[in-house]
Amino acid sequence: MTSESHSSSTVAPRADPYALPDVSGLVVGVLGGTGEQGRGLASRWAAAGQRVIIGSRDPVRATQAAEEIGNGCQGMSNHDCAEASDVVLVAVPWQGHAALLSDLVDVLAGKTVIDCVNPLGFDKQGAFPVPVPEGSAAQQAAALLPDSHVVAAFHHVSAVLLLDQNVAEVDADVLVLGDVRDATDRVQALAALVPGMRGIYAGRLRNAGQVEALTANLISTNRRYKAHAGLRITDV
């Protein structure tokens, strides 16, 4: 074997899964940021020194929410928020998911889009997952935003704990799914900004459906035990 053929067959070293990028210079936008989940994550990121923009259909409500959060947080319309941000979290109700993203295709092109939407229904027996033609809310986002890097994450984090300033650390792992390594690493790094929280890579975007559906199980757990349960991954 020649030295040339030997070098061409050498396997490149695997990237350290624990090494995460510096995201301090990124602007993080939260679409639907006046809701509890979006507002909770926005408040934690802003408290960590991240520049955060709250987006809403109503810019006045977005500004009010941003003022309550403080730490330099700004409020804008969803469109302006998406345009001004480097990374965007989608935290809107499932019913408005497709319509919102369809209107933002151009301004979200080339950006990391984090989808934390859970397609759930509710009846007398509790929460249950609803079928999504694309397979999951995250896959629907990817289909609607072909030029964006969609990452599924933050489905199982309690909004109650995020919003409670007396909770110093949020005891939870965030399952992060996506098809672009740089994008999933970026989202893991954002999760790590919240004290007590870790972002754990959990596979390709095609597996997001089962992660979204698991939220229904956690809702049942929380109702039975009057808790704010999350997930922890062992041995990682």
Between the CA atoms of 49, 55, 58 and 62, what dihedral angle is there, to the nearest 10 degrees? -10
Burial track 102-111 (b if 16+ CB lie within 10 A, e otherwise): eebeebbeeb
pLDDT, residue 11, reads 66
Burial class, 147, CB count within 10 angstroms (exposed 0-12 / middle 13-18 / buried 19+): exposed
Beta bridge partners of 77: 56
Please provide the CATH number assigned to the domain covering 22-225: 3.40.50.720
Mean pLDDT value across residues 168-193: 97
pLDDT at 19 over 90: yes
pLDDT at 7 over 90: no
What are the pLDDT digits (tens) for 194-220? 999 999 999 999 999 999 999 999 999
C-alpha 39/C-alpha 163 separation (Å) is: 8
C-alpha 193/C-alpha 45 separation (Å) is: 7
What are the pLDDT digits (tens) for 132-164? 999 999 999 999 999 999 999 999 999 999 999
